[in-house]
Amino acid sequence: MPKTNNRSENSKLDNPLFFYMPDAEWGEFCQWYKADFTVSKADISDLIGHTVDDMDPDGSITFNCAEQFIMYCKAARFHDASTQTGILATSNPKEQKILGRNVTGFTNESWDQIKSPVAEMGNKAKFGQNTHLCRKLLSTGDRLLCEAASKDRVWGIGYTAKHALSHRQHWGENRLGKALMATREYLRSQEARSKKPWEQYEA
């Protein structure tokens, strides 16, 4: 492989993009960032492994942020209908998260099977249905996206942006960052597919 490609790959890894809270730089990538998007109940049902709403299985649901979507899917995974209703009833991401932490019947083993696909589906809808957010995500090129959450080693890297680089070998799973990068690749492929053949090579 040409050395220039190796340098290019290294530069992407050496220049990670850190995000955390919705009101900070790159806050659009935070799951608490307010941005309406809609997902069909059928898609959610396929994702969680059973009908998401036994009383009304058709149609779609509009969410006000990605946090609401993830917590709703979490409650739905464990058939906790009352918590599903509560999560949809509040527009406050912090309250949505608290409700999601108290899902009845929750087990890590079951949630671990779908939580990353859930994050990807929510972010594909969030960024895919909001043009300004799509542009923001695509503007990051191929940079490594990292949630700089010091107390979260599952969705984030377990360090603040200030201390992240000096502790890189100890980073957490960064599942949210990975979901965003998968979303970015998906949106990029969708954009390329929508172009006419001669537009594919235009700058």
**Which DSSP helix (H) or strand (E) runs through 173?**
none
Reported as a pLDDT band with limits 50, 70 and 90, residue 197 is: low
How many whole angstroms separate alpha carbon 155 and alpha carbon 51?
26
Handedness of CA 178, 181, 101, 60 (dihedral sign): negative
Mean pLDDT of the chain: 92
Q: The domain containing residue 69 runs over which residues?
A: 3-199
Give the model confidence (pLDDT) of 43-82 as tens digits.
999 999 999 998 899 999 999 999 999 999 999 999 999 9
3 state SS of 36: coil
What's the number of domains the chain is made of?
A: 1
* pTM: predicted TM-score of the whole model, two decimal places: 0.89
Give the model confidence (pLDDT) of 167-196 as tens digits.
999 999 999 999 999 999 999 999 888 865
CATH assignment of the domain containing 23: 1.10.357.40
For residue 124, give both structure tokens.
């594909």
